Amino acid sequence: MARDLHRSRYARYAGGPDPLAPPVDLAEALDAIGEDVMAGYSPERAMREFLRRGGRNRQGLDDLAAKVAQRRRDLLRRNRLDGTMEEVRELLDRAVLAERKQLARELEDDARFDEMRIENLPSSTAAAVNELSDYRWHSSDAREDYERIKDLLGRELLDQHFKGMKQALENATDEDRERVNDMLRDLNDLLAAHARGEDTDEQFRDFMDKHGEFFPENPQSVDELLDSLAQRAAAAQRMRNSMTQEQRDELDQLATQAFGSPALMESLAQLDANLRALRPGEDWTGGERFDGEQGVGLGDGTGILQDLADLDDLAEQLSQQYNGARLDDVDLDKLARQLGDEAAVDARTLAELERALSETGYLRRGSDGQLRLSPKAMRQLGKALLRDAATRLSGRQGQRDLRQAGAAGELWGATREWQFGDTEPWDVTRTVTNAVQRVAADGGDPSHGVRLDIRDVEVSETEARTQAAVALLVDTSFSMAMDGRWVPMKRTALALHQLISSRFRGDHLQLIGFGRHAQVMDIEQLTALDAMWDKGTNLHHALLLANRHFRRHPSAQPVLLIVTDGEPTSHLEPDGEVMFSYPPHPLTIAYSIRELDNAGRMGAQTTFFRLGEDPGLARFVESMARRVGGRVIAPELDDLGAAVVGSYLGSRGSSSSSGSAYGDWFGGRGYWVGD
């Protein structure tokens, strides 16, 4: 029995974005951009820097640009432009050798005369070929080799203008050559009519119906045909410009022998003139220096010059240095052709990432036209930093995620899936609803009853009952920026801000930066703050602002967190002026101690986070902490965020198990003072 055999054909997907491509990793991009913003970059520059660097498993623009530059160097170092001349020389030498052998066997006077003519051929290849244009060959092999020279020249000259013609016309007949001449005449007539401004649509369709086989790229209009022809003709001219004057002279002499017909050169010269007039914007004057060992023919050399032009375009597109630059400008077809499909996939992913950062609202353009991190982006960054702090905490104490914070507090409406060890109350409504939906999805009938599964259980999240007024004082002095503590400081502030705004919404957080003077900042302002190079550490002013914050919330538990890497070197005078002195002036120390004592009298739970190994700072911080029964923690920079978050949680007493045990973790590097 005969069976129908169904054949399937597979090709590259071309219906839009690849449906199987992995989604862009916005989290990785946002983390990197946020890190650069906190280091002082503008969001726009930070995004561009990330696109330049790429991701963990993705090439960036710099990687792609480097490969483009390397391929360009390889093309110039590997090739030279005299391949056609070499091939002609080989055919000529073979023809002359065969002819000499034949003449040696003949005894007639004509043979002696021709032998003298062969022996006295010019040393120039082109001149020798022209000299033999009317020679009557005695050897049939020699005659065939000489005819191959004319055929080769014709095919190479055509291949310069029409890619693939060299192969298509191999072993061509006189009829094939006449069809080419016919196409050139019609093409020049079409371009001349187009140059005169005539309506050439119908003429173009007739031309393609008749000669379409010569144009595999299948242009759809006269302009598309013009663009394709002009780009290749300009590349051919640049190849000619790249040759030495001697090579150009030889090529001009040889061209007259192409197919043994001067008419071909006349048609090609007319075509070049038409293309130059219609597309003057193409690069007709450039050139390159080739110094490789591999000779290439006229057609292949023209293709290499086109490749070089493509690579130059890609280099500009990947540089993104021009006005209005966008990654959508990168020609993915050119990139795939020059560097392979993987490079095109990476470039497309970067472009999608650039669009996604704007479309998802992570980056917004302000009224001044500059990109800024949106509140949504700030929340995402805070979540990532808070997770990092939680990981560092749990990794050292076996404690659980900071979602446990406030477990003993009041319900605030949110629920989450139950996890082993949870002690929060069940949300019965959500739990039963999940069970009903699961039974129905499995094809059961919930009206006959449902059996709970552990996967159905959801627990209610809680907030801590005790409110806190939290003041995070961060040193923004010269030394913080100089010693690489600027970004960790910002990351710490953002992590704490995220924790309080998402898990302890009843608490009141105030961020205070203190350098030569102090100021209250919102999280966006602090995150975008450039490194401050003014000398001065005004802890006195920062404590004044913190105490004002505590007084505004008299029913809340005051929590004072101070991150610094230096002793106080400035203070506010009664008239509001800043006094700076290094070494620290006794009055500066006295003013700072007075405000710290005021915080202590309000019951503030105080923690100093000492950065650096300065002995003088260590002694000062220890004595300050002892005065108010506070503590000192000396974390590594990478642990600063976890230290501050853990200290905050610990200050809330029973509201969080993770914070209460945190002080023990520091061992020799941190210690309790006063208790």
pLDDT in tens, 158-201: 888 888 888 888 887 888 888 988 999 999 999 999 999 999 99
CA distance 316 to 268: 32
131-140, 177-186, 476-485, 558-567: the lowest-pLDDT one:
476-485
Task: State phi, psi for 399 to the nearest 5 degrees.
Answer: -90, 165
Which residue has tokens 């009829």? 175
Q: How many residues belong to the chain?
A: 675
**Average pLDDT in the 439-451 region?**
83
Range with the largest mean pLDDT of 372-386, 426-440, 591-605: 591-605
The stretch 100-116 carries a mean pLDDT of: 89
What are the φ/ψ torsions at residue 128 (nearest 5 degrees)?
A: -65, -40
3-state secondary structure of 560: strand
Confidence bin at 667 (pLDDT 50/70/90): very low
pLDDT for the residue 388: 66
User: In degrees, to the nearest 5, what angle opens at C-alpha 631 toward C-alphas 626 and 634?
Assistant: 120
Q: Is 393 left (phi over 0), alpha (psi -120 to 50) or beta?
A: alpha
For residue 325, give both structure tokens: 């630059």
CA of 348: how far to CAs of 59, 189, 472, 642, in Å?
Answer: 11, 42, 43, 37
The pLDDT score that the predictor gives to residue 24 is: 64
User: Two tokens at 171?
Assistant: 């072993």
The 3-state DSSP class for residue 331 equals coil
C-alpha 48 chain-centroid distance: 7
State phi, psi for 637 to the nearest 5 degrees: -60, -40
Rounded Cα distance, 197 and 675, in Å: 95
Tokens (6 digits) for 69: 């530059």
Nearest C-alpha neighbor of 606 from the set 542, 515, 524: 542
Q: Which helix (H) or strand (E) holds 39?
A: none
| Secondary structure tally for the chain: helices H, strands E | 27, 15
- Most confidently modeled of 193-202, 446-455, 532-541, 649-658? 193-202
What the block records as the tokens of 132 is 């033999």
Region of poorest pLDDT, from 84-93, 253-262, 279-288, 387-396? 387-396
Query: What pLDDT, on a 0 to 100 scale, did the predictor assign at position 39?
Result: 62
> What is the reported pLDDT for 366?
62
Q: What is the pLDDT of residues 486-497, one digit of tens each?
A: 778 887 888 888
Q: What SS3 state is found at 123?
A: coil
Q: Rounded to an integer, what is the distance from CA 539 to the centroid of its chain?
A: 42
Q: N- to C-terminal Cα distance for the chain?
A: 95
Longest dimension (CA), the chain: 130
Under DSSP, is residue 665 helix (H, G, I), strand (E, B) or coil?
helix
**DSSP state letter for 78:** H
Q: What is the pLDDT of residue 403?
A: 40
Can you give the residue ranges of every domain in the chain? 26-79+310-373, 82-289, 413-463, 468-672
Cα gap 102→96, rounded to integer Å = 10
Report the alpha-carbon distance of residue 70 to residue 54 in Å, rounded: 19
CA distances from 236 to 307, 338, 642 (A): 12, 19, 65
Neighbours of 173 (CB within 10 A): 9
pLDDT at 250 over 70: yes
Report residue 381 as tokens. Answer: 């960054």
* Mean per-residue pLDDT, 529-544: 84
Three-class SS state of 559: strand
Tokens of 426: 């069940």
71-85, 395-409, 477-491, 610-624, range with the lowest pLDDT:
395-409
What pLDDT, on a 0 to 100 scale, did the predictor assign at position 90? 94
Tokens of 243: 């040759």
Amino acid 448: pLDDT: 82
- Determine the Cα–Cα distance for residues 204 and 218; give it in Å rounded to an integer: 12
Q: If you average pLDDT over residues 70-80, what whole number do you get? A: 91
E strand segments, 268-386: 294-295, 363-365, 371-373
Confidence of residue 8 (pLDDT cuts 50, 70, 90): low
Mean pLDDT, all residues of the chain: 81
Greatest mean pLDDT range, 124-128, 257-261, 262-266, 523-527? 124-128
- Most confident range, picked from 457-466, 468-477, 629-638: 468-477
Mean pLDDT of 572-601: 92
Say if residues 369 and 42 touch (Cβ distance below 8 Å). no
In contact, 309 and 331? CB cutoff 8 Å: no
Residue 262's identity, in one-letter code, is P
Please write the tens of the pLDDT for every residue from 342-375: 888 888 888 887 777 776 666 766 665 566 666 7
Spatial CA neighbour of 535 closest among 497, 584, 606, 608: 584
User: How would DSSP label each residue in 507-524?
Assistant: SEEEEEEESSSEEEE-HH
- Residues in Cβ contact with 81 at an 8 Å cutoff, skipping those fewer than 6 apart: 239, 242, 243, 247, 290, 295, 296, 301
Per mean pLDDT, which of 52-66, 168-182, 191-205, 444-458 is the most reliable?
191-205
Residue 520, classified by CB atoms within 10 Å of its CB into exposed (0-12), middle (13-18) or buried (19+), is middle
| Per-residue DSSP letter, 421 | T
Q: Is the confidence at residue 302, as pLDDT, over 70?
A: yes
Helix (H) or strand (E) holding 80: strand 79-80
d(C-alpha 572, C-alpha 580), whole Å? 9
Residue 6 has pLDDT above 70, yes or no: no
Residue 367 is predicted with a pLDDT of: 60
CATH code for residues 468-672: 3.40.50.410
Least confident of 185-199, 419-433, 467-481, 544-558: 419-433
Whole-angstrom distance, CA of residue 498 vs CA of residue 475: 20
The confidence band for 675, taking pLDDT boundaries of 50, 70 and 90, is very low
Mean pLDDT score, 24-32: 72
Res. 394 pLDDT band, cuts 50 70 90: low
pLDDT of residue 409: 53
**558, containing H or E segment:** strand 557-564
pLDDT of residue 393: 59
In this prediction, residue 354 carries a pLDDT of 77
Q: What is the pLDDT of residue 23?
A: 58
3-state secondary structure 144-201: HHHHHHHHHHHHHHHHHHCCCHHHHCCCCCHHHHHHHHHHHHHHHHHHHHHHCCCCCH
Q: Check residue 410 and report its DSSP letter.
A: E
- pLDDT at residue number 251: 87
- Which of 409, 407, 405, 431 has its CA nearest to residue 418? 431
Asked if residue 254 has pLDDT above 60, the reply is: yes
At residue 384, the pLDDT reads 67
